[in-house]
Amino acid sequence: MTTDRRSALLVAAACAATVVAGLGVAAQHRVNGELGQVIDDGFTAALISFSSGLVLLLVATAASPRARAAFRAIRPLLASGELRWWMLLGGFGGAFLVLGQSLVASILGVAIFTVATVTGQTAMGLWIDATGFAGSRRAPVTTQRLLGTLLTLAAVVVAVAPEIGGRVPVAALLLPLLAGLGVGAQAAVNGRVRTATGSPIAATTINFIIGTTALAVATGVHLLIAGLPDRLPSDPALYIGGALGAGFIAIQTITVARIGVLILGLCLVMGQLVGALVLDLVLPIGVATTASTAIGAALTLVGVLIAAIPSRRRDRPRRASQAGA
């Protein structure tokens, strides 16, 4: 197998894994949205979700000598400057996403919550790939990538526009929009931590430690004001949000180094929208899905393919120049 063919297969596998991660994100939107609705407390629901994921990751870390060694390496990496302290704060993005799920996903529905998140993810992914933020693999903003991104944004408009100002309050879209920006940045810094430590488990666990800490502080303040929720649900399915989060964040920390933040974001978008469409049809919550959501998902798929497929014309000169060097 040639090097180019092997590289193309690895990129395809990374894209497919990231789409699966996107399906997990949509499922987490649904689970955490219902948990927040049932207990009528989005802050507590978010903390339950994130902390349960942290418990699973701490167990995995304890069982992995490589992950434990990676944790011990964090301090020397910070001291040497290979990692900056702010690169460990990716968990803030995840925490804000989970909080948004618990607070407004039950109002917006999974599909509309997802497309609002997508807007922030796509914009952040384009900026990060263009600037190489946090040591990410830089990728120039070519016409092909820009077209794919614009199609994805058009999908967002198509999917959400019919509901704006009606059943969907504009203010409720702000949380998932900001969460999308945070998720895009989270992928970049988590990927950098994974590269430096050599352990996706360690990078994901650090993400959950930071996110759980942030949510614990926010929830503590909230509970002092609002009081404890009346009850917790008995349905075990409502407590799997943390496990879903641990899974899709671990996938992102591995695939981002291969495909870059923009393509990672677009593949996540595709998985999220397709998953959201299915979930809103099978297990609806909040605003019911419409034909516009399906059209938006189709446009997203086209945008992902345009942005993700390498441009042969662009690659040939690069290989030629490398051969002559």
Give the domain ranges of the chain: 17-228+235-312
- pLDDT on residue 85: 93
Kindly give, in sequence order, each residue whose CB lies less than 8 Å from that of residue 249, ignoring residues fewer than 6 positions away. 94, 186, 190, 204, 207, 208
Using alpha carbons, list the distances in angstroms from residue 129 to 137, 148, 155, 180, 304. 7, 14, 21, 16, 15
Say yes or no to pLDDT of 291 above 90. Answer: no
Q: How many Å separate Cα 151 from the centre of its chain?
A: 19
Answer yes or no: are the C-beta atoms of 214 and 91 closer than 8 Å. Answer: yes
Q: How far apart are CA 192 and CA 194, in angstroms?
A: 5
At 13, the pLDDT band (50, 70, 90 cuts) reads very high
- pLDDT above 80: residue 75: yes
Residue 133 falls in which region: left (phi positive, over 0), alpha (psi -120 to 50) or beta = beta
Among residues 203, 89, 112, which one has the least CA distance to residue 162? 112
Confidence of residue 321 (pLDDT cuts 50, 70, 90): very low
- Range with the poorest average pLDDT among 10-14, 25-29, 166-170, 180-184: 166-170
For the record, the structure tokens of 275 come out as: 């998953």
Burial class of residue 50, CB neighbours in 10 A (0-12, 13-18, 19+): buried
pLDDT exceeds 70 at position 150 = yes
**CB proximity list for 192: less than 8 A, separation 6 or greater:** 83, 87, 134, 135, 136
Q: Residue 216 above 90 pLDDT?
A: yes
> What is the C-alpha to C-alpha distance for residues 58 and 209, in angstroms, rounded to an integer?
9
Q: How far apart are CA 183 and CA 124, in angstroms?
A: 9
- Identify residue 64 by its one-letter amino acid code: S
pTM as predicted: 0.77
Of the candidates 2, 63, 23, the one whose C-alpha atom is nearest the C-alpha of residue 245 is: 23
Mean pLDDT of 85-108: 89
Those residues with Cβ within 8 angstroms of residue 298's Cβ, 6 or more apart along the chain or in another chain: 155
Side chain identity at residue 236, one-letter code: P
User: What single-letter amino acid sits at 52?
Assistant: S
Structure tokens at 287: 């605003």
Can you read off the two tokens belonging to residue 49? 């979700």
How many angstroms separate the CA atoms of 238 and 183, rounded?
Answer: 22
- Round the average pLDDT of the chain to a whole number and report it: 82
60-64, 104-108, 260-264: which has the minimum mean pLDDT? Answer: 260-264
Quote the CA–CA distance of 129 and 137 in Å, as a whole number.
7
- Given this model, what pLDDT does residue 167 score? 64
Neighbour tally for 80: CB within 10 Å: 9
Looking at residue 173, what is its pLDDT? 77
How far is residue 55's CA from residue 242's CA, in Å, rounded to a whole number?
9
Residues in the chain: 325
Rounded distance between C-alpha atoms, residue 91 and residue 185, angstroms: 10
Using CB atoms within 10 A of its CB, is residue 38 exposed (0-12), middle (13-18) or buried (19+)?
A: middle
